[in-house]
């Protein structure tokens, strides 16, 4: 089955072509929703077959079909596919969430009218290139798809481009991620300089790894991780993601929660064979992840826009994954276990399901109420029973309550970070940040749920439950959010399923039974620390936002007030960028503008003037007089002869 | 039987000539003149199919030829491919354009003869055959450019083209006879080894060789429209029927390139140190002058004429660089330029059929009048400017990078400046290409729709597909060009 993996992106791409090219009359059923669902479902079926093959123990790493795209002199660039356990995890996420979101869109985008066609075409293009990104077998191919998903993200954030805020959010997302992309590209170029190849098989092989000097390896891996910082919205480039919520909620669920933002984590995981050669980079990765997790969680505490809460939550959870990857690298290097790596991927999968669920629930709420502001909601639980219950499932899952999925993977992540502390004590600090994040996550999630669904309506609205087309995907995702954590106990355990990609490269992993894993988890006192903190977070939210009689004005006074204002201003990071952009960049751009206007334009105008002038002069020669043409030929001939005989270095007189 | 054996290699040319002779007869019998175009396509499609299956597909090998004057190899095959492709595109778009004219039979007959002459040049290994090929194609194109007899511009163009062309032919012939005098042979490869033998001796002979080289540069420089032998080109391209302008810019010019590659890189490669700087200077002057004057043009056909003068400058880079990779780049550029330039001319032709003028200002607001033609024109122009991922970028990349590589490896290091000049000129050229795009997309013009003439549209579509395909998937073609370059240069070693 693996050799057909290249066909996975073809299904959505064909759907994209049909939707965008078919004449309007032929394109029936909600402007292409039918083709979109068909394309997504086709890719889902094929993905499941491929994943089944991977589960059976087959991989295609460097020995798949390839075709030469470019052979010039000694440069050879091939395109091919690479399917291993890591690929399978991403395929699963993209296939399941992609299909469900497209179905859900059938209901959500119903009122969009003529815009639907553009929407479905762009969504299908996105799904197609996202698959392409996941199955690429070299950095260049991956980079091309990396840029294409960025393009689709730009288009979809700016879907309502008449709205100035949406247009500027799209631009911001595009520009900020570009900073990371350039670092990514620089990293690729460094690797290419030393290894002379870009495909994973060469780069990750012993010779490839040995060809890069250590300091360059640190630089290259750090730069590649720079790409991940942009794409996965890690500190300090994370501010574009909350703004990206200007797009339709389905887009936020699919692109900005479940798939594209995972591309950075995927890239880091994919580059593991290189990263483990550079422990300095790993420490950097872990630190970025920890800081991101904490900072984003704090901002989520005070956000009042339901989608922004989820956006900051996404950033925070992505920070978890990055942290786990950093710590996991240490474990691979020093403890010879792939525990952290598999924890990251496990969390990646679980998060994709519960966060997509949360976003789609939020979409359902927004669809019903017509606002994003939680202060205007309240009391929706009675009117939107399915949405409120499925969202509760999502909130429990992300808060880390057993046996829902978030508990298992979050526990694995924190355990990995803690055990990496043995090799560098910075990890203890990062672990503490992770624990604090866990507490805050539980709090802000239930704050959001209580504010939305509990109590009495705080504004005048006529909510109703969403149509089946929307609630069915919610229920499916809720089941997944409840159960995907049990993947840990299936067969060899998810940990090894995902860890295999690394284990194969470095050897040394141990099989454990489900009972062992369970005993291990619940025999560890640290598990109870995070459990207690999560429970406290939920109870605190219950006390403040559900039980009557709590005076919330205490938050507005004194130190708490200062803190709240700092949080409401997103730690002033966004403001810093805006000031930076306005003052420094604007000053720079003035200089650049002057340079452009006077020097470059001057040159161009000079050229043009010269061109027009000499054009005029030469045009005079170009009189249309044929005798003159002959004269010019003779003069040219004579000049040439003189040049060759007397002037040119070959002339011997 | 032996005669047939010997004619095997000439079979496609015989077929072309046969159809060329048939055309006037068919014209006499047929009411619907479009059928003539389809008839003219038959031998070219057959030849093209054979060439593609041989050169790119590798499904068969041409038989060994018994004639010492020509050689069928990948080099000739690649050039013939470019000529036939342009021929097909030109013939396809002609019926729409020449509807109002008389003597359609002669028109197609002359196109077929021009293509015949060009392919003969591609095949020739002997200076005399080469010259005959040049003349067959030359005389056919003189007549073609004057085809619109009612139009004064066309007649004037043909007259100028004929006079200057005759002058240049004389120079070429003079050069050939001088080379014969120096080396005692007209066979290009034999001339190469003969010259090598006498390289160190006979000072006087060498200056005769230099004189011959200069005359050759002037004579063939006329064909490829290199500065200062380019004067005729804008007048003729402007005056000739637009499909014929396409034929001249995209194919006839390449015939000169084929001849130059053969003579300079095989026949007189020994004296390379004498002529490499001179040709490098001509290359840089040609691309710069072409691009500069193109900026100030108000007529799109003249602009395209100057643009193809500049393109000739790019291709001339190959001669001073002279490596196999450079020749491959030159061949690749010949192929891509064949599609993008003929495509651009065919868009002009399609618009002219619908009464849209040839001034740049007539193109205002074209994107709303005919989205297809506007998109096609935009892609052709961007490809000519060398914007990825279009064909023009890929071939310019190979061409310029060959100069960079050669400046490092066999040297001399000044070859690098050829690449620098090429890149700067590409940037300069974007200025006038972008101006057309701006007029089409951003400026307001007349509103009424322009329908695309069917056959011209088909020709444009072919050129467009090739312009995109050769920009994205060019591996097989670059490989072919490298092998073709090898088959040219192996005659030397």
Domain map of chain B by residue range? Answer: 3-489
Considering only CB atoms, A648 lies closest to which of B167, B278, B474, namely B278
Give residue A411's pLDDT.
85
Query: Which whole number is the average pLDDT over B93-102?
Result: 87
Number of domains in chain A: 3
Phi, psi (deg, nearest 5) at residue A552: -75, -5
How far apart CA A332 and CA A335 sit, in angstroms, is 6
Considering only CB atoms, A649 lies closest to which of B214, B277, B292, namely B277
Give residue A74's pLDDT.
65
Give residue A547's pLDDT.
73
The DSSP code for A199 is: B
pLDDT band with cut points at 50, 70 and 90 for residue B91 = very high
In the predicted model, is pLDDT for residue A501 greater than 70? Answer: no
The label of the residue with tokens 């290249």 reads: A6
Residues A176 and A325 in one domain: no
Highest-confidence range of A15-19, A625-629, B307-311, by mean pLDDT? B307-311
pTM to 2 decimal places: 0.68
**A415 with A524: CB under 8 angstroms?**
yes
Q: Which of B439, B360, B433 is nearest to B392 (CA)?
A: B433
A272 in a domain, yes or no? Answer: no
Domain boundary among the residues A520, A540, A564 is at A564
Angle of helix B34-55 relative to helix B11-29, nearest 10 degrees? Answer: 170
Any chain B CB within 8 A of the CB of A610?
yes
Please list every residue in chain B whose beta carbon sits closer than 8 Å to the beta carbon of residue A644: 210, 213-214, 274-275, 278
* A110 burial via Cβ count (<10 Å: 0-12, 13-18, 19+): middle
What is the nearest CA distance from A614 to chain B, expressed in angstroms?
7
A273 in a domain, yes or no? Answer: no
Highest-confidence range of A113-117, A377-381, A516-520, B465-469, by mean pLDDT? B465-469
Residues A99 and A176 in one domain: yes
Please list every residue in chain A whose beta carbon sits closer than 8 Å to the beta carbon of residue B210: 641, 644-645
Note which residues in 621-640 of chain A have CB less than 8 A from chain B.
621-622, 624, 626, 628-630, 632-633, 635-637, 640
How far apart CA A67 and CA A62 sit, in angstroms, is 12
The domain in which residue A446 lies consists of 278-564
A383 in a domain, yes or no? Answer: yes
A246 in a domain, yes or no? Answer: yes
Q: Which of A178, A183, A98, A89 is nearest to A134 (CA)?
A: A89
pLDDT band with cut points at 50, 70 and 90 for residue A331 = confident
The DSSP code for A366 is: H
* Best residue of B204, B231, B480 to probe chain A, by most A CBs closer than 10 Å: B231
Please list every residue in chain B whose beta carbon sits closer than 8 Å to the beta carbon of residue A616: 296
Beta strands A75-80; A66-72: pairing state? antiparallel
Residues whose CB falls within 8 Å of the CB of residue A546, separated by 6 or more in sequence, listed in order: A450, A454, A455
Residues forming a β-bridge with A78: A68
* Best residue of A629, A632, A635, A643 to probe chain B, by most B CBs closer than 10 Å: A629
A510 in a domain, yes or no? Answer: yes
Question: By three-state DSSP, how is residue A70 classified?
Answer: strand
Residues A551 and A631 in one domain: no
Query: Which whole number is the average pLDDT over B443-450?
Result: 86
Residues forming a β-bridge with A72: A75
In B, minimum Cα distance to A640 occurs at B214
In angstroms, what CA-CA distances link B172 with A575, B84, B220, B231, B266?
73, 25, 7, 18, 17
Number of CB atoms found within 10 A of residue B286's CB: 28
Residues A114 and A248 in one domain: yes
- Peptide bond just before B176 cis, omega within 30 deg: no
Q: Dmax over Cα atoms in chain B, in whole Å?
A: 72
| Alpha helix stretches (DSSP H) within A212-338 | 214-231, 240-243, 249-253, 262-270, 272-275, 279-300, 306-330
Give residue B356's pLDDT.
87
Pairwise CB contact (< 8 Å): B282 & A640: yes
Give residue A108's pLDDT.
81
pLDDT in tens, A123-153: 999 999 999 999 888 888 899 899 999 888 8
In angstroms, what CA-CA distances link A614 with A608, B233, B237, B299, B421?
9, 18, 21, 18, 18
Please list every residue in chain B whose beta carbon sits closer than 8 Å to the beta carbon of residue A618: 289, 292-293
* Best residue of B433, B475, B478 to probe chain A, by most A CBs closer than 10 Å: B475
Q: Which two tokens stand for residue B37?
A: 């175009």
Phi, psi (deg, nearest 5) at residue A199: -80, 150
Phi, psi (deg, nearest 5) at residue A8: -55, -50
Residues whose CB falls within 8 Å of the CB of residue A173, separated by 6 or more in sequence, listed in order: A153, A154, A157, A240, A241, A243, A244
Give residue B16's pLDDT.
93
Number of CB atoms found within 10 A of residue A52's CB: 12
Which stretch of A618-622, B80-84, B157-161 has the lowest confidence by average pLDDT? A618-622
Residues forming a β-bridge with B299: B359
Query: Which whole number is the average pLDDT over A377-395?
Result: 85
What is the nearest CA distance from B304 to chain A, expressed in angstroms?
15
Query: Which whole number is the average pLDDT over A417-421?
Result: 86
In the predicted model, is pLDDT for residue B289 greater than 50? Answer: yes
Residues A437 and A560 in one domain: yes
A57: left (phi over 0), alpha (psi -120 to 50) or beta: left
A215 in a domain, yes or no? Answer: no
pLDDT in tens, B373-419: 999 999 999 999 988 889 999 999 999 999 999 988 887 888 999 99
A380-398 CB burial, b ≥16 within 10 A, e <16: bbebbebbbbbbbbbbbbb
A382 in a domain, yes or no? Answer: yes
Considering only CB atoms, B229 lies closest to which of A611, A636, A650, namely A636
In A, minimum Cα distance to B280 occurs at A648
In angstroms, what CA-CA distances link B318 with A73, A351, A431, B189?
16, 58, 63, 19
Pairwise CB contact (< 8 Å): A643 & B159: no
How far apart CA A209 and CA A194 sit, in angstroms, is 9
Average per-residue pLDDT for chain A: 81
Residues forming a β-bridge with A66: A80
Pairwise CB contact (< 8 Å): A650 & B213: no
Considering only CB atoms, B231 lies closest to which of A615, A632, A640, namely A632
Which stretch of A593-597, A612-616, B122-126 has the lowest confidence by average pLDDT? A612-616
Which stretch of A214-218, A582-586, B271-275, B347-351 has the lowest confidence by average pLDDT? A582-586
Pairwise CB contact (< 8 Å): A633 & B296: no
A349 in a domain, yes or no? Answer: yes
Phi, psi (deg, nearest 5) at residue B296: -95, 15
pLDDT band with cut points at 50, 70 and 90 for residue A612 = low
**B208 with B51: CB under 8 angstroms?**
no
Residues forming a β-bridge with A83: A60
Give residue A650's pLDDT.
55
Question: By three-state DSSP, how is residue A136 classified?
Answer: strand
Residues forming a β-bridge with A81: A136
Give residue A591's pLDDT.
80
In the predicted model, is pLDDT for residue B341 greater than 90? Answer: yes
pLDDT in tens, B235-282: 899 989 999 999 999 999 999 999 999 999 998 888 888 888 899 999
In A, minimum Cα distance to B298 occurs at A612
Considering only CB atoms, A615 lies closest to which of B271, B295, B398, namely B295
- Considering chain B, what percentage of its residues have pLDDT values greater than 90? 53
Domain boundary among the residues A564, A583, A599 is at A564
In angstroms, what CA-CA distances link A400 with A325, A356, A413, B191?
19, 16, 12, 86
Give residue A508's pLDDT.
40
Pairwise CB contact (< 8 Å): B228 & A614: no
Pairwise CB contact (< 8 Å): B210 & A644: yes
Any chain B CB within 8 A of the CB of A72?
yes
Pairwise CB contact (< 8 Å): A633 & B234: no
In B, minimum Cα distance to A636 occurs at B228
Please list every residue in chain B whose beta carbon sits closer than 8 Å to the beta carbon of residue A604: 431
Any chain B CB within 8 A of the CB of A585?
no
Residues forming a β-bridge with B126: B187
Residues A319 and A418 in one domain: yes
In the predicted model, is pLDDT for residue A507 greater than 50? Answer: no
Query: Which whole number is the average pLDDT over B204-228?
Result: 88
Q: Which two tokens stand for residue B219?
A: 């004579």
Q: Which of A310, A473, A302 is nearest to A387 (CA)?
A: A473
Residues A520 and A554 in one domain: yes
Angle of helix B324-353 relative to helix B74-97, nearest 10 degrees? Answer: 10
Residues A126 and A249 in one domain: yes
Q: Which of B250, B257, B176 is nearest to B213 (CA)?
A: B176
Cβ pairs bridging A and B (under 8 Å) = 114
The label of the residue with tokens 């996991």 reads: A328
Q: Which two tokens stand for residue A191?
A: 């690797």
Please list every residue in chain A whose beta carbon sits closer than 8 Å to the beta carbon of residue B291: 611
Residues forming a β-bridge with A136: A81
In B, minimum Cα distance to A633 occurs at B229
The label of the residue with tokens 């709590």 reads: A550
Please list every residue in chain B whose beta carbon sits closer than 8 Å to the beta carbon of residue A630: 163-164, 167
Query: Which whole number is the average pLDDT over B49-76?
Result: 83
pLDDT band with cut points at 50, 70 and 90 for residue A504 = very low
Any chain B CB within 8 A of the CB of A71?
yes
Q: Which two tokens stand for residue A586?
A: 């604007």
Query: Which whole number is the average pLDDT over A111-122?
Result: 81
Residues A389 and A495 in one domain: yes
pLDDT band with cut points at 50, 70 and 90 for residue A225 = very high
Residues A253 and A335 in one domain: no
Which stretch of A458-467, A573-582, B130-139 has the lowest confidence by average pLDDT? A573-582
Query: Which whole number is the average pLDDT over A646-650?
Result: 66
The label of the residue with tokens 């290419």 reads: A192
Query: Which whole number is the average pLDDT over A358-382?
Result: 83
HEC profile for chain B?
CHHHHHHHHHHHHHHHHHHHHHHHHHHHHCCCCHHHHHHHHHHHHHHHHHHHHHHCCCCCCCCCCCCCCECCCHHHHHHHHHHHHHHHHHHHHHHHHCCCCCCHHHHHHHHHHHHHHHHHHHHECEHHHHHHHHHHHHHHHHHHHCCCCCCHHHHHHHHHHHHHHHHHHHHHHHHHHHHHHHHCCCEHHHHHHHHHHHCCCCHHHHHHHHHHHHHHHHHHHHHHCCCCCCCHHHHHHHHCCHHHHHHHHHHHHHHHHHHHHHHHHHHCHHHHHHHHHHHHHHHHHHHHHHHHHHHCCCEHHHHHHHHHHHHHHHHHCHHHHCCHHHHHHHHHHHHHHHHHHHHHHHHHHHHHHCCCCCEHHHHCCHHHHCHHHHHHHHHHHHHHHCCCCCHHHHHHHHHHHHHHHHHHCCCCCCHHHHHHHHHHHHHHHHHHHHHHHHHHHHCCCCCCCCCCCHHHHHHHHHHHHHHHHHHHCCHHHHHHHHHHHHHHHCCCC
How far apart CA A364 and CA A469 sit, in angstroms, is 11
Residues A403 and A487 in one domain: yes
* Best residue of B214, B225, B310, B321 to probe chain A, by most A CBs closer than 10 Å: B214
Residues A173 and A102 in one domain: yes
In the predicted model, is pLDDT for residue B174 greater than 90? Answer: yes
**B66 with B2: CB under 8 angstroms?**
yes
Pairwise CB contact (< 8 Å): A624 & B168: no
B119-155 CB burial, b ≥16 within 10 A, e <16: bbbbbbbbbebbbbbbbbbbbbbbbbbbbbeeeeebb
How far apart CA A55 and CA A487 sit, in angstroms, is 12
Query: Which whole number is the average pLDDT over A168-174?
Result: 85
In angstroms, what CA-CA distances link B150 with A625, B37, B99, B156, B162?
21, 22, 13, 11, 18
Question: By three-state DSSP, how is residue A67 classified?
Answer: strand
In the predicted model, is pLDDT for residue B94 greater than 60? Answer: yes
Q: Which two tokens stand for residue B469?
A: 């395909």
Any chain B CB within 8 A of the CB of A646?
no
Please list every residue in chain B whose beta carbon sits closer than 8 Å to the beta carbon of residue A615: 292-293, 295-297
């Amino acid at each position: 089955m693996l050799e057909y993996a290249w066909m996975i992106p073809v299904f959505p791409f064909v759907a994209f072509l049909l939707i965008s090219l078919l004449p309007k009359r032929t394109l029936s059923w909600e402007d292409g929703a039918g083709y979109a669902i068909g394309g997504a479902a086709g890719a889902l079926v094929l993905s499941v077959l491929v994943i089944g093959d991977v589960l059976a123990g087959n991989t295609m790493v460097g020995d798949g079909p390839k075709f030469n795209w470019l052979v010039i002199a000694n440069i050879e660039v091939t395109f091919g596919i690479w399917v291993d356990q890591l690929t399978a995890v991403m395929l699963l996420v993209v296939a399941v969430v992609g299909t469900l979101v497209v179905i859900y869109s059938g209901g959500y985008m119903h009122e969009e009218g003529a815009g639907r066609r553009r929407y479905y075409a762009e969504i299908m293009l996105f799904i197609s290139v996202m698959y392409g990104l996941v199955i690429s077998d070299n950095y260049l191919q991956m980079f091309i798809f990396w840029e294409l998903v960025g393009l689709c993200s730009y288009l979809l954030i700016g879907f309502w481009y008449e709205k100035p805020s949406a247009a500027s959010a799209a631009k911001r997302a595009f520009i900020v991620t570009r900073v990371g992309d350039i670092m990514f590209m620089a990293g690729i170029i460094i690797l290419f300089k030393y290894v002379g190849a870009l495909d994973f098989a060469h780069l990750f092989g012993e010779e490839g790894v040995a060809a890069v000097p250590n300091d360059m390896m640190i630089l290259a891996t750090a730069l590649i991780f720079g790409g991940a910082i942009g794409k996965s919205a890690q500190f300090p480039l994370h501010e574009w993601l909350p703004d990206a919520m200007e797009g339709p909620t389905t887009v936020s669920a699919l692109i900005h929660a479940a798939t594209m933002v995972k591309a950075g984590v995927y890239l880091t995981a994919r580059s593991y064979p290189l990263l483990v050669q550079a422990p300095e980079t790993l420490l950097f990765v872990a630190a970025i992840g920890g800081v991101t997790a904490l900072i984003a969680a704090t901002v989520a505490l005070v956000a009042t826009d339901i989608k922004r809460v989820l956006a900051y939550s996404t950033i925070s959870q992505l920070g978890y994954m990055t942290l786990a990857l950093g710590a996991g690298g240490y474990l691979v290097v020093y403890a010879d276990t792939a525990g952290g790596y598999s924890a990251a991927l496990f969390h990646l999968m679980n998060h994709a399901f519960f966060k997509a669920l949360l976003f789609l629930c939020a979409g359902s709420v927004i669809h019903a109420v017509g606002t994003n502001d939680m202060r205007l909601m309240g009391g929706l639980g009675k009117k939107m029973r399915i949405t409120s219950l499925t969202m509760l499932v999502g909130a429990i899952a992300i808060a880390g309550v057993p046996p829902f999925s978030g508990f298992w993977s979050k526990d694995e992540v924190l355990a990995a970070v803690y055990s990496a502390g043995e090799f560098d004590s910075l990890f203890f600090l990062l672990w503490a940040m992770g624990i604090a994040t866990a507490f805050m996550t539980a709090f802000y999630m239930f704050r959001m749920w209580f504010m939305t669904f509990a109590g009495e309506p705080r504004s005048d609205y006529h909510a109703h439950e969403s149509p089946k087309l929307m609630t069915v995907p919610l229920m499916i995702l809720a089941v997944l959010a409840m159960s995907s954590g049990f993947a840990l106990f299936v067969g060899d355990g998810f940990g090894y399923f995902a860890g295999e990609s690394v284990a194969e490269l470095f050897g040394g992993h141990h099989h454990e039974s489900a009972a062992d894993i369970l005993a291990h988890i619940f025999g560890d006192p640290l598990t109870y620390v995070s459990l207690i903190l999560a429970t406290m977070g939920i109870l605190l939210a219950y006390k403040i936002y559900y039980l009557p009689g709590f005076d919330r004005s205490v938050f507005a006074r004194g130190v708490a007030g200062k803190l709240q204002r700092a949080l409401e201003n997103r730690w002033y990071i966004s403001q810093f960028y805006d000031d930076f952009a306005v003052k420094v960049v604007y000053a720079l751009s003035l200089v650049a503008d002057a340079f452009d206007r006077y020097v470059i334009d001057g040159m161009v105008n000079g050229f043009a003037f010269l061109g027009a002038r000499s054009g005029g002069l030469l045009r005079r020669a170009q009189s249309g007089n044929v005798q003159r043409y002959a004269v010019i030929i003779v003069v040219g001939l004579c000049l040439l002869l003189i040049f060759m005989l007397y002037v040119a270095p070959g002339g011997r007189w | 039987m032996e005669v047939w054996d010997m004619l095997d290699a000439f079979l496609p040319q015989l077929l072309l000539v046969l159809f060329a002779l048939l055309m006037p007869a068919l014209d006499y019998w047929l009411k619907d003149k479009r059928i003539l175009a389809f008839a003219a396509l038959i031998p070219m499609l057959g030849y093209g199919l054979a060439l593609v299956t041989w050169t790119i597909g590798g499904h068969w090998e041409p038989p060994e030829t018994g004639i010492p004057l020509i050689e069928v190899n990948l080099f000739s095959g690649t050039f013939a491919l470019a000529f036939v492709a342009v021929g097909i595109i030109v013939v396809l778009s002609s019926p729409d354009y020449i509807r109002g004219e008389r003597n359609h039979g002669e028109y197609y007959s002359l196109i077929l003869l021009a293509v015949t002459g060009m392919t003969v040049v591609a095949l020739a290994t002997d200076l005399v055959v080469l010259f005959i090929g040049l003349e067959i194609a030359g005389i056919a194109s003189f007549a073609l450019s004057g085809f619109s007899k009612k139009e004064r511009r066309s007649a004037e163009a043909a007259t100028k083209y004929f006079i200057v062309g005759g002058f240049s032919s004389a120079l070429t012939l003079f050069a050939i006879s001088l080379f014969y005098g120096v080396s005692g042979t007209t066979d290009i490869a034999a001339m190469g080894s003969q010259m090598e033998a006498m390289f160190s001796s006979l000072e006087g002979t060498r200056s005769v060789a230099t004189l011959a080289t200069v005359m050759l540069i002037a004579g063939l420089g006329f064909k490829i429209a290199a500065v200062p032998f380019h004067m005729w080109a804008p007048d003729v391209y402007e005056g000739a029927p637009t499909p014929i302008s396409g034929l001249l810019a995209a194919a006839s010019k390449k015939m000169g390139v084929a001849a130059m590659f053969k003579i300079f890189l095989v026949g007189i490669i020994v004296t390379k140190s004498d002529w490499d700087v001179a040709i490098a200077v001509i290359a840089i002057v040609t691309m710069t002058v072409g691009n500069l004057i193109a900026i100030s043009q108000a007529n799109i056909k003249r602009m395209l004429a100057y643009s193809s003068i500049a393109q000739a400058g790019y291709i001339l880079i190959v001669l001073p660089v002279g490596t196999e990779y450079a020749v491959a780049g030159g061949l690749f550029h010949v192929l891509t330029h064949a599609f993008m330039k003929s495509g651009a001319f065919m868009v002009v032709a399609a618009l002219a059929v619908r009464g849209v003028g040839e001034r740049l200002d007539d193109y205002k607001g074209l994107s709303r009048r005919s989205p297809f033609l506007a998109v096609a024109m935009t892609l052709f122009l961007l490809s000519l400017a060398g914007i990825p991922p279009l064909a023009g970028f890929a071939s310019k990349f190979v061409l310029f990078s060959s100069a960079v590589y050669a400046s490092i490896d066999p040297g001399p290091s000044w070859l690098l400046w050829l690449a620098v000049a090429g890149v700067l000129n590409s940037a300069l050229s974007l200025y006038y290409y972008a101006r057309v795009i701006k007029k089409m997309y951003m400026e307001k013009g007349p509103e009424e729709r322009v329908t695309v003439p069917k056959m011209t549209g088909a020709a444009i579509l072919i050129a467009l597909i090739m312009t995109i395909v050769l920009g994205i998937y060019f591996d097989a073609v670059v490989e072919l060009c490298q092998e073709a370059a090898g088959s040219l240069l192996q005659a030397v070693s």
